[in-house]
Structure formats: structure tokens, C-alpha cells
Amino acid sequence: MRVVIAEDAVLLREGLAGLLERFGHTVVAAVGDAPALVEAVAEHRPEAVVTDVRMPPGFTDEGLRAALELRDRHPDLAVLVLSQYVEQTYAAELLESGAGAGIGYLLKDRIGDVREFVDALDRVAAGGTVVDPEVVRQLLRRRRDPLARLTPREQEVLGLIAEGRSNASIAKELYVSDAAVAKHIANIFTKLDLPPAADGHRRVLAVLAYLRG
Amino acid sequence: MEALTRRPLPFLGSAWPWRSAAYLLGSVVPGVAAALTTAAAVRAGLVALPLGVLAGLAVLALSIPLVARFERLRLRLVDGVPVPDTPDRRRREAGLAVMTVLAMWWIDLIMLAFTVIGPLLLILTPVVQPDIVPIVSVVSCVAGVLLLPVAAYTITAWGGARGAMARAMLAPQSSELAEVLRSRARLVDAFEMERRRIERDLHDGAQQRLVSLSMSLGMARLDLPDDTPAGRLVGLAHDEAKQALAELRELIRGVHSQVLTDRGLAAAVHDVAGRSPVPVDVDVELPGRLPAPVEVTAYYVVSEALANVAKHSRATRAAVTGRVERGTLVVEVHDDGGGGADPGKGTGLTGLADRLAVVDGRLSLSSPVGGPTRVRMEIPCP
């Protein structure tokens, strides 16, 4: 996969590039700020972008804004946004773009779990949605309706869907059968009033409902 | 003036009645000067002429710096705090001088005369009126002695009031208060800037390095089987690094909320509510961004209030609401806990009120024993 990295800390940028190369991806450009990211994407047309939220010149949320802008221009571009801290507003803004397909939002800490991190990037590149478990944890603590209608087990399953997990992976995580997972998911869709449609799309809608509350 | 609130004996034994008397007696100086000038003018027959009026005004104008200086000097007798300079000092001094020359001096002297000479005359009745009935003369003598302490109070009261008036004319009280308020606000701003800088330093330095370290250890782990000693150690180091990162993230968030800076109060309240161990419902709707000091203060108060809910209230549920109503930000934090929060018991509630005072805000608290607790803050936002 051809990837563009945007990260202002040199050490981390080089490390990320090395990591992705090691797992067989091609880093076509590694840049240090948001305008350079937009340029690099225009020039190299990568399949995926990995970007930091906070970058020069303003050190606020340039990376996130650039990611949203890039999604507007290239709806097929997979975007994985890395943040130093969890912010649900960021996650929600990201997922609104292109209904959450090919979008990821992870804490920077997760890079340390290299294999999971690269998996997450692969899932995003394949059109999936990945939301950091920390975002999910905070949401679960706060949300009431309509999520209050979900049983604790269903909430757990929804949290794993938000992380971009497949049914099989969820079954493995929770030590239950695939059929049990499918039943939980069907219950979630019903309780969240999600219309029958392509399964993948409903998963994303469930995550969105989850984030919006 | 505060001396008046002391117990009678220490008060009468203190220097204040004497200082006040000396202060008021000082009016003899402008009084005599004014009287002599007027007398001289009358003598010369100038009073009736328009020229005389003009000359009087000129003399008054010329005397202004002298009188003002004298007023400042004698103010020290009753007012220990130096009078600050104001930009319009000359105008204020002129006002005080004109008032002193035209009115204050004789009011002072009349006050002094009535309060002191009255009792003195009573005491001296046997001397001044020797032909009066002895019993009456003794009674008035005693009455005079009893009236002397009263005179001390009257003189001190007038001296204090007179001093306060002079002070108010020389420098309005509000200007000092406003300066104190401004300096307090500057101090808080400076603290906030410093916290921001620390947050940025930690973010750009330690945090990035730890992420890099954790990534390197993660990569090393790929090549080292978990069942070798080296693999186990690297695994341990990796877990430690991740733990350190998580702790550092919490620390940095406590120092300064980047979400607040980036996305404003509503997002930051959602964020802090999401991390509370007690489930919190958030209903904050604001018309865009508020002034930075308002946002920072409101965020601080909400964070502290939610921390109190988690620590003390035994609540199972809390809620934060926020609106701007007629130019005032109103934020309320409720919980269904045990209540009984007492600002006097050092739960940090007084600290919150102090913090709010910097931005002219107010804190109100309702927390009956048995609950529920409701903390309400109001901050004007221009």
C-alpha cells in the first residue's frame, strides 16, 4: 500500500515510516506539516494517509482539518488520524466525512502496539472504520438513549465494532460463537433503528449513532 | 475610622482622638489665611468691585498648590496608607483645595469648637459663672467631664470621615480597586500562559519521545520470542513505556486542556465529563466561542466540581448544563449524591469562588444534607 505520513516530530516520523516499510507498505512521502500533507497527496495520490492532529504552524488541529479537506477532495482516500489525546468531537467530525468508511482515529500511544496499529491501518485502507478504544470507553460511560437500550454485552460488541473488528475477531475477543455475535449485532441494529441495508454500511451507521449519542 | 470600633477604654487611650483633633485643628491654617486675605480685601475696599472678585479668584487659584500640599500632608494624621497618584491629579487637587478654602475649614473648626469647647465650658462652670447655685455648677461640671469621651468619638468620626472625603477627592477608591482587579486578572493570565507552555513542552518533548520509545520496543518485540529472557524483558519495558505514556497523557491534560483551546468550552466539558468515574449527562449549548478567560475559568470550575462529585458526593449520576443568558454564562453542575457540601470545610469551594471572582463571576451552592447538590456559576461575558 502507498502511504503518506504527516507528523511534525522527526523522530516519530522516521520511526513510523520504518514501521510501515517493515510491514511491506511503501511510504511515498513523509512530511512535517498540514500544507505539505495536502501537497504530497496531490502529487503522489496515495491509498492511505497517516496524520498527526497537532502540527505546525498553529499547533492546534491542522492535521485533522487537512484530513477532512483531503477526504472532501478524494473520497476514496483512507485516512488514519493520530491524536495525542482523545477528543470525541474530532472522532465525530472525522466519521461524518464519507459516512465513516475508510476512517480511523487512534491515540498516538497505539503506535507502540505495532502489529495492532498496522492492522488498524489495513482495516481503514479496506474501507473500514476504526475508533480508539479510549473514545469508546468514554462514550459508554456517558451515553444514555438510545444506547441505554443496549444490554452491557451489546454495548461491548458495539464498542468492538467501533474499533473496526470483524465478527470473527469479536467472537474471539469475547469467547463466544460467531452466531452469538451475529445475534448481538442484529439486536443492536434493531435497537438503534438502523434500516436493513448492506451489512458493512449498517455497522458504520451503528458506530455513528454511537458517537452522536 | 476603624479605631471607633475598638472597646471604649483602648480607644480613648489610643492616639486616634488626638490625631483627629490635630487633623481638624489643621484647618486653622487655611482658615486664618482665608480670613486674613478677605479682611485685607475688605479693608482695601476691593470687595464691591468686579476687580475684587477677580483678584479673589486669582489668589484662590494661586493658593491651590499650597493648600493641596498641606491637605496631603495632614491627611497622614488620619490615614496611614499613601494616596496613589492619578492621571488627573491636578484637577483633583484643585477641587480639594477650593473646597477646603471655601467650606471645609470652618466646618472643621465649628465641629471642633462644639465638641471640645462645649464640655470644657461645662467643666469650667464654677470658674466662669461663680454666682450660680453650687449644686448646678457641680452637676454641669460632672456632665462636662462625662461629655469629654463623647467628644473624642465625635471628633474621631468627623476626622475619619473628613479624611476619607479628602482621600476620595484625591484618588477615587474605584481606581485602586480596579488596579488590584486588573493585576489579579493579569496574574491568572500569566499562570494560564505558563501552564500552556508546560503543556506544549511536554507534548513536543517527553510525549513524542515516549511514543518513539514504545514504538521501538514494539518493533524489537516482533523479533524476540516472548519465551526468551531478552524477549520477556523487552516485553516488560514495552508495557512500562505504554503505562508511562498513559500517565503522562493524564498529567498533560491536567496541566492544560488542549481541547478547550481548540474546540471551546462545550467540547472540553464533554471531554472532562467523559473521564469522570460518575456518569455525567452534558447539556451545554453556547453561541460559538466565549472570551478565553471565561472559557478557562468555567472549564476549571466544572472540572473541580466534577472532581468533588467523584470524591465526596457518593452520587450515581451527575449533570452539567450550560447556556448564555442575556450576556451571562450560566453553568450548573448537579449530582444526586449525599449533599452537605460546606464551603467552610475546605472542599475547595472557596477556591472556586475566588477563581470566579477574577472574571467577575459568582458561585452559588445548594447542598442540603441528604442531597442533592447543585453548584451554579455565573460569568458575565461581554
Q: pLDDT (tens digit, 9 = 90+) per residue, B329-371?
A: 999 999 988 888 777 776 578 888 888 888 888 888 888 888 7
DSSP A195: P
Average pLDDT, chain A: 84
Taking CA atoms, A168 is separated from A162, A177, A203, B101, in Å, by 14, 8, 14, 98
Considering the domain architecture, whether residues A59 and A83 belong to the same structural domain is answered as: yes
In angstroms, the CA B117 to CA B148 distance is 10
- A13 to chain B, any CB pair closer than 8 A? The answer is no
In angstroms, the CA B125 to CA B111 distance is 21
Residue A150 counted as domain residue: yes
Residue A38 counted as domain residue: yes
Closest by Cα among B116, B54, B62 to B94: B62
Residue A137 counted as domain residue: no
Q: How many domains does chain A have?
A: 2
Query: pLDDT digits over A109-147, tens only?
Result: 899 999 999 999 999 999 888 888 887 777 666 555 567
Average pLDDT over residues B51-57: 73
Q: Which helix (H) or strand (E) holds B374?
A: strand B373-380
Considering the domain architecture, whether residues A93 and A150 belong to the same structural domain is answered as: no
User: Tell me, what's the pLDDT at A141?
Assistant: 62
- Top-confidence residue, A57 or B372: B372
Prediction ipTM score: 0.74
- A186 to chain B, any CB pair closer than 8 A? The answer is no
Beta-sheet pairing, B280-284 with B318-325 = parallel
Contacts with B214 from chain A: Cβ below 8 Å: 109, 111-112
Q: Which of A71, A98, A132 is the last residue of a domain?
A: A132
Residue A138 counted as domain residue: no
Domain with A57, as residue range(s), is: 2-132
Give the whole-number percent of chain A exceeding pLDDT 90. 38
Considering the domain architecture, whether residues A114 and A189 belong to the same structural domain is answered as: no
Considering the domain architecture, whether residues A20 and A122 belong to the same structural domain is answered as: yes
**pLDDT above 80: residue A206:** no
In angstroms, the CA B265 to CA B261 distance is 8
- In a mutational test of the B interface, the residue from A87, A136, A143, A210 whose CB has the highest number of chain B CBs within 10 Å is A87
Length of chain B: 382
Query: pLDDT digits over A183-195, tens only?
Result: 888 888 777 766 6
One-character DSSP codes across B121-187:
HHHTHHHH-TTS-HHHHHHHHHHHHHHHHHHHHHHHHHHHHHHHHHHHHHS-HHHHHHHHHHHHHHH
CATH number, domain containing residue A121: 3.40.50.2300
Q: Report the DSSP beta bridge partners of residue A82.
A: A52, A106
- In a mutational test of the A interface, the residue from B223, B258, B280, B283 whose CB has the highest number of chain A CBs within 10 Å is B258
Contact B245 A109 (CB under 8 A): yes
Of A12, A88, A109, nearest to B274 by CB-CB distance is A88
Dihedral sign computed on CA atoms, order B151, B152, B155, B158: negative
User: Tell me, what's the pLDDT at A195?
Assistant: 62
Average pLDDT over residues B90-95: 81
Query: pLDDT digits over A160-171, tens only?
Result: 888 878 888 889
Average pLDDT over residues A23-43: 95
Cell of B367: 447542598
Considering the domain architecture, whether residues A103 and A150 belong to the same structural domain is answered as: no
Contact A12 B208 (CB under 8 A): yes
Counting beta carbons within 10 angstroms of the beta carbon of residue B17, is it exposed (0 to 12), middle (13 to 18) or buried (19 or more)?
A: buried
DSSP A8: S
Contact B211 A89 (CB under 8 A): no
User: Tell me, what's the pLDDT at B48?
Assistant: 62
Considering the domain architecture, whether residues A128 and A147 belong to the same structural domain is answered as: no
Kindly indicate the confidence band of residue A30, based on its pLDDT and cuts at 50, 70 and 90.
very high
Contact A88 B207 (CB under 8 A): no
Q: How many CA atoms lie within 13 A of B93 on its CB side?
A: 22
Instruction: Return the amino acid letter for A211.
Output: L
Residue A109 counted as domain residue: yes
Q: How many CA atoms lie within 13 A of A16 on its CB side?
A: 32
Q: Which of A104, A132, A160 is the last residue of a domain?
A: A132
User: Tell me, what's the pLDDT at B298?
Assistant: 94
> Assign residue B373 a region: left if phi > 0, alpha if psi is -120 to 50, beta otherwise?
beta
Considering the domain architecture, whether residues A15 and A91 belong to the same structural domain is answered as: yes
In angstroms, the CA B2 to CA A208 distance is 67
Considering the domain architecture, whether residues A127 and A154 belong to the same structural domain is answered as: no
Considering the domain architecture, whether residues A121 and A196 belong to the same structural domain is answered as: no
Cell of A143: 451515553
User: Tell me, what's the pLDDT at A210?
Assistant: 67
- Top-confidence residue, B84 or B111: B111
Counting beta carbons within 10 angstroms of the beta carbon of residue A61, is it exposed (0 to 12), middle (13 to 18) or buried (19 or more)?
A: buried
Contact A85 B209 (CB under 8 A): no
- At residue B341, the 3 state secondary structure works out as coil
Query: pLDDT digits over A3-22, tens only?
Result: 999 999 998 999 999 999 99
CATH number, domain containing residue A161: 1.10.10.10
Considering the domain architecture, whether residues A45 and A106 belong to the same structural domain is answered as: yes
Average pLDDT, chain B: 83
Considering the domain architecture, whether residues A105 and A207 belong to the same structural domain is answered as: no
Residue A88 counted as domain residue: yes
- In a mutational test of the B interface, the residue from A59, A89, A93 whose CB has the highest number of chain B CBs within 10 Å is A89
User: Tell me, what's the pLDDT at A212?
Assistant: 61
Residue A157 counted as domain residue: yes
> Assign residue B79 a region: left if phi > 0, alpha if psi is -120 to 50, beta otherwise?
beta
Shortest CA distance from B318: residue in chain A: A142
Kindly indicate the confidence band of residue B35, based on its pLDDT and cuts at 50, 70 and 90.
confident
Closest by Cα among A191, A137, A131 to A163: A131
- B268 to chain A, any CB pair closer than 8 A? The answer is no
Residue A50 counted as domain residue: yes
Q: Which of A132, A152, A176 is the last residue of a domain?
A: A132
Contacts with B241 from chain A: Cβ below 8 Å: 112
User: Tell me, what's the pLDDT at B220?
Assistant: 92
Query: pLDDT digits over B18-33, tens only?
Result: 888 888 888 888 888 8
Taking CA atoms, A111 is separated from A15, A108, B132, B135, in Å, by 10, 6, 109, 106
Chain A: give the shortest CA distance to residue B244, in Å: 10
Kindly indicate the confidence band of residue B276, based on its pLDDT and cuts at 50, 70 and 90.
confident
Considering the domain architecture, whether residues A80 and A164 belong to the same structural domain is answered as: no
Closest by Cα among B266, B363, B257 to B321: B266
- Top-confidence residue, B319 or B81: B319
User: Tell me, what's the pLDDT at B192?
Assistant: 85
